[in-house]
Amino acid sequence: MSSIDFGHTRCKVAYLDAAGKPNIVSNARGEDSTPTVVHVQPGREPLVGLDAVEQGFLDPAGCVSNFKLGLGRTRNLLDNGQVLTATDAAAIVIGKLKADAERALDREVADVVATCPANFRDNAKQAYLEAFARNGIKVLRLLPEPTAAAIAYAMDRQGLNMTVLVYDFGGGTFDVSLVRVQGSQIDILATDGVAKLGGSDINDCIRALVLDEIEAQAGRRPSPGEDPLLFHDLASRVEAAKISLGKRPEVPVVVGYNGAQVVVKVAQEWLHQAIDPLVDQSLQALDSALSSAGLRPSDVTDLVMVGGTSRLPYIQRRVADHTGLSPKTSIDPVKAVAYGGAVACIAEMAKEGKTATIRGQVVPAPEVFYQDVTAHDVGCCVVDRSGPTRRLVNSVIIPKNTAIPCKKADFYCLEHEDQTAAQIEILQGKHDSTRDECLLIGEMVVGNLPKEEKRTARLHVEYVIDANGMVTATVTDKVSGQQETVSVDYKRGIKPKDKPNAA
């Protein structure tokens, strides 16, 4: 009955009170957000948040952060003999958030809406949902972060008709969505983004400058492996400098290295020039979303900027200059995603016939209806023989920004007339991208196929995507009538196999 905004740098939990107003859950330290940091040590309970940050000064090798973008991968985050994947770390953080929520709300937290980047790939979603499942939490809906922000913004303006541009610049990812609000109906028109673009990239610019100065003064450049404590300390100093540079023309960053104090003065003007390419990437994605929605900036009524990085005045000015729109300041850019997720959670519970209560009082179900779109092109692997070499490429069946739920299909030929089996691979990636450039999210084999004298478009491949973005694929051989179906279950996942004998 809560929402969990699992951020790249900080996490928040929100709920609706008996008056239908969203609130943030305070953690055990009384903070309204928890740093996405984990410290593990053999034989001890893992630490999360500031507790983990503080322990990291004593044992930096056991401390991990910035792992959200690693969800879906199996890489070990530690090099001290312990094993910790991004999924493991996420599960530890979610367990702490659950405990904090249950303490604050005085009841079990079993149902949540989990927010995630709009452009999260399926392997990341699989890992994300697994982290919740390990804590006994049912995810009612995976809600894209800009959609959640749009819900929060629209709920305060019920009855109005708006076209909202949500610019979501977070700690590790960037998303932008065009949203049409008509009373209680919220429709996502288009979404775009950059999978790895956030405040951590700005921090990287500042950290590189500091390391350059250390190298100039000391004659050697520190590395995380040689001096983990320096990098642990530098992370918090760089973050503080970034925030201060939003308002101050110059900020000193002071670090200790080899027994000496190094002072690096970071100028605001330098930072603006350094991050211009990053802001340019976000504006390119913004333009792409406008184009996909068939809109111009003048068609937009409200610009909503959310995510911690969007608070930087320079970024707000760049976006305002680019679009000719003034950002709305009536919504908290840091809490908006969690607030919208809390509204959606109660709405999803109502769909399942569940009633949410807070301290014995019924929480009214909000009258809100929302429809999302696909964040990626989804197709199947086919053989492209148009060029000089045989290539395995993605043939898109459901294009990006198709309203979901949806159902679409296409017909394909077998590669050879005497072929008696075909492996259908479900791919996420742009049309005509090579198989290796795409993400394999599912596969199925149809066999015992009658041979043909002449190749025909006999394989009918149909995809169905539900409101959560879950894909179900069905292949039917029109010659024999044989049929196979597979559902891409984020909680179960499907293991990749060898290169297919493509359709």
**What is the band of 497 on the pLDDT scale with cuts at 50, 70, 90?**
very low
H helix runs in 223-335, sequence order: 228-244, 268-293, 313-323
| Same domain (yes/no): 86, 158 | yes
**Are both 263 and 317 inside the same structural domain?**
no
Residue at token pair 């068939």: 294
> What's the CATH number where 230 sits?
3.90.640.10
What is the CATH number for 324?
3.30.420.40
490 pLDDT higher than 80: no
Q: Are 8 and 16 in contact (CB under 8 A)?
A: no
Neighbours of 111 (CB within 10 A): 19
The torsion angles phi and psi of 319, rounded to 5 degrees, stand at: -65, -40
Same domain for 448 and 479 = yes
On the 0-12 / 13-18 / 19+ scale of CB atoms within 10 A, 65 is buried
339, 22 Cβ separation under 8 angstroms = yes
Are 208 and 167 members of one domain? Answer: no
List the domain range (segments joined by +) for residue 123.
2-197+276-371
- Look at 367 and 178; give whichever has higher pLDDT: 178
Give me 433's structure tokens. 């991208």
Asked whether residue 496 is assigned to any structural domain, the reply reads no
One domain, residues 428 and 442: yes
Question: Is there a contact between 466 and 476 (Cβ–Cβ < 8 Å)?
Answer: no
Helix (H) or strand (E) holding 442, with range, is: strand 439-446
State residue 388's pLDDT score. Answer: 82
Cβ atoms < 10 Å from Cβ of 174: 30
Phi-psi category of 363—alpha, beta or left, where left has phi over 0 and alpha has psi -120 to 50?
beta
Residue where one domain finishes, among candidates 334, 352, 371: 371
The three-class DSSP label of residue 38 is strand
Residues 248 and 171 in one domain: no
Asked if 314 and 422 sit in the same domain, the reply is no
Read off the amino acid at residue 93. V
Q: Which residue from 488, 469, 348 is spatially nearest to 404, judged by alpha carbons?
A: 469
Residue 501, domain member (yes or no): no
* 498 in any annotated domain: no
The answer as to whether 328 is a domain residue is yes
143 CA to centre of own chain: 10
Q: What is the DSSP string of 407-435?
A: EEEEEEE-SSTT---EEEEEEES-TT-BG
Paired with 407 in beta bridges are 464
Q: What is the pLDDT of residue 489?
A: 54
pLDDT of residue 494: 36
| Confidence category of residue 156, pLDDT binned at 50, 70, 90 | confident
What CATH number is associated with residue 468? Answer: 2.60.34.10
Q: Residue 52 falls within a domain, yes or no?
A: yes
Please say which residue of 354, 371, 388 terminates a domain. Answer: 371
Give the integer Cα–Cα distance in Å for 446 and 476. Answer: 8
pLDDT in tens, 367-392: 888 889 998 899 999 998 777 888 99
- Give percent of the chain above pLDDT 90: 74
Residues 304-321: pLDDT tens digits? 999 999 999 999 999 999
**Domain contains 317:** yes
C-alpha span between 284 and 306 (Å, rounded): 18
Mean predicted lDDT score pLDDT of the chain = 91
DSSP state of 481: -
pLDDT digits (tens, 9 = 90+) for 317-349: 999 999 999 999 888 999 999 999 999 999 999
What is the pLDDT, as a whole number, of residue 293?
95
| pLDDT value for 43 | 85
Alpha-carbon torsion, ordered 29, 31, 36, 39, to 10 deg: -10
125 belongs to a structural domain:
yes
Q: Rounded CA gap, 95 and 467, in Å?
A: 26
Work out how many domains the chain is built from and give that number.
Answer: 3
Cα separation, 426 vs 168, in Å, equals 29
**CA neighbor of 482 nearest in space, from 417, 424, 415:** 424
Within 8 A by CB and 6+ apart from 432, the residues are 384, 393, 394
Does 441 or 387 have the greater pLDDT score? 441
**Pairing of β 302-306 and β 161-169:** parallel
Q: Quick check: 304 and 167 in contact, CB under 8 A?
A: yes
Choose the final residue of a domain: 371, 386, 409.
371
Q: How confident is the model at residue 80 (pLDDT cuts 50, 70, 90)?
A: confident
